[in-house]
Amino acid sequence: MAQLWGGRFTKETDKLVYNFNASISFDQKFYVQDIEGSMAHVKMLAKQGILTEDEKNQILAGLEGILKDVNEGRLEITDEYEDIHSFVEANLIDRIGDAGKKLHTGRSRNDQVALDMKLYTRHEVVEINELLKGLLESILHIMENHLETYMPGFTHLQKAQPITLAHHMGAYFEMFKRDRLRLDDIYKRMNYCPLGSGALAGTTYPLDRAYTAELLGFAGPTLNSMDSVADRDYVIELLSAMSTIMMHLSRFCEEIIIWNSNEYRFVEIDDAYSTGSSIMPQKKNPDIAELVRGKTGRVYGALMSILTTMKGIPLAYNKDMQEDKELTFDAIDTVKGCIALFDGMLKTLKFNEDVMKVSAMKGFTNATDAADYLVNHGVPFRDAHGIIGRLVLYCIEKDKAIDELSLSELQEISPVFGEDIFDAVSLETCVNKRMTIGAPGPDAMREVIALHKEYLK
């Protein structure tokens, strides 16, 4: 049991207490950030004359050695240390002796852990953002290739109006683009450095907090030392943004599962992204899509957990906050894994264009356009709605689509119909005429795609 404290204690810590309190099993994940933060701190201490140049150089060399040895597997992080901060400091003192004992001058584990967590999550914000960029590129690629791949658009999971695959994919482009903008925003807000806040009330040493902030790539130091050690808003914001990413992935997965079903057959998931059944030889299951959908709950859980942990904590640091790590790390790994897997599945997804088109032609997705036709020929919309309703009923009885009826059948229902109705309700016309920005018409879509390309540049 290696601890940084103990002077005022007369008894050993109970073993169970020690284990319950220790965080090394999970905070070892940010040993790089811990060492990076210590290096910046030491450079600042020397610049301010609090450490000598020689002490600084000894400490930096010691820290570099620890980093290298852990990276290359020569030094193992074991649970004989309470946490990653203790591990680094104890190893440093082992290596360089007395100079190592000065590392923690003007610092507390409270500002140290706040810094480590921020550095770690800040890096992950960038990583997740990059993964989303890759996903957007895959989506855009599908959009460009399917401007005239017709399919039914649904409301209530009932066929509604015809759209294109490009348009459907475009909806997800918007979602994941918003997710990226949210991450950009979180990055800006979190990018202030808590180091130098001490335990809660700053320190009496003449620290240059702006300098450490600059060394660590922050926009500046945080402005209240109590808030600095007690703030985990950025963790909550990140988990909230990640929950939204998972919600979007989950909806997309749900659609792919439906489209991949025997009944729909709009898509076929690649063999490399499907699994079989142990008993039913014919099965090819969309397990990956289902797992991504399933793992969404786990990320939401992490968000609920930290919100609940933080809600009753009086200022400033309290040990409850140690609970910010495990579920956040798990959520980050989950989200990154899900985006990467989903992207792979999407890239290899086969679209059955013919099936989609036939589906769009059946199911009266052109009924609105048929009503619009009557309106264009002087029939008030509400009357037109009623006429087409009766027409659909007739079609259902005859098991035909609107454009499969003869002109005389159509005219029996309304004399307003002329020969031009067939062109007016064809799938191509129904889609191509939807030209306002945001609509599925290929011309409108091309404009949007150009904007997306500009955004991704």
- Catalytic pick among 156, 278, 406, 408: 156
Q: Which range in 189-197, 220-228, 315-323, 403-411 contacts ligand ARG by CB under 6 A?
A: 315-323
Indicate whether 15 belongs to the interface with ligand ARG (CB under 6 A): no
CA distance 457 to 455: 6
Of residues 108-167, those binding ligand ARG (CB under 6 A): 109-110, 113
Candidates 187, 317, 329, 342; binder of ligand ARG (CB under 6 A) is 317
CA distance 324 to 306: 6
Of residues 24-53, those binding ligand ARG (CB under 6 A): 27
CA distance 92 to 86: 10
Q: Which is nearer to ligand ARG, 150 or 317 (CB)?
A: 317
Selection from 220, 215, 232, 4 nearest residue 117 by Cα: 232
| Cα 56 versus chain centre, distance | 40
Q: Give the DSSP per-residue string, 27-51.
A: HGGGHHHHHHHHHHHHHHHHHTTSS
Give how far Cα 421 sits from Cα of 39, 373, 404, 429, Å: 76, 7, 11, 11
- Catalytic pick among 85, 277, 385, 406: 277
* Site pattern 76..95 for ligand ARG (x: CB under 6 A): -------x------------
Q: Which is nearer to ligand ARG, 322 or 429 (CB)?
A: 322
Task: Map residue 92 onto helix, strand or coil.
Answer: helix
| Residue with smallest beta-carbon separation from ligand ARG | 322
> Are residues 88 and 69 in contact, defined by beta-carbon separation less than 8 angstroms?
no
Told to judge if 156 belongs to the known catalytic residues of this protein, a careful annotator would answer yes
Indicate whether 232 belongs to the interface with ligand ARG (CB under 6 A): no
Quote the least distance from Cβ 202 to ligand ARG, whole Å: 16
Q: Which is nearer to ligand ARG, 23 or 366 (CB)?
A: 23
Told to judge if 240 belongs to the known catalytic residues of this protein, a careful annotator would answer no
> Angle, nearest 10°, between helix axes 165-190 and 109-145?
160
Q: Which is nearer to ligand ARG, 21 or 48 (CB)?
A: 21
Can you read off the two tokens belonging to residue 318?
């309290």
Which amino acid is located at 393 in the chain? L
Can you read off the two tokens belonging to residue 131?
């993964």
Q: Which is nearer to ligand ARG, 83 or 208 (CB)?
A: 83
Which parts of this chain interact with ligand ARG (CB under 6 A)?
A: 23, 27, 83, 109-110, 113, 317, 319, 321-322
- Catalytic residue numbers? 156, 277
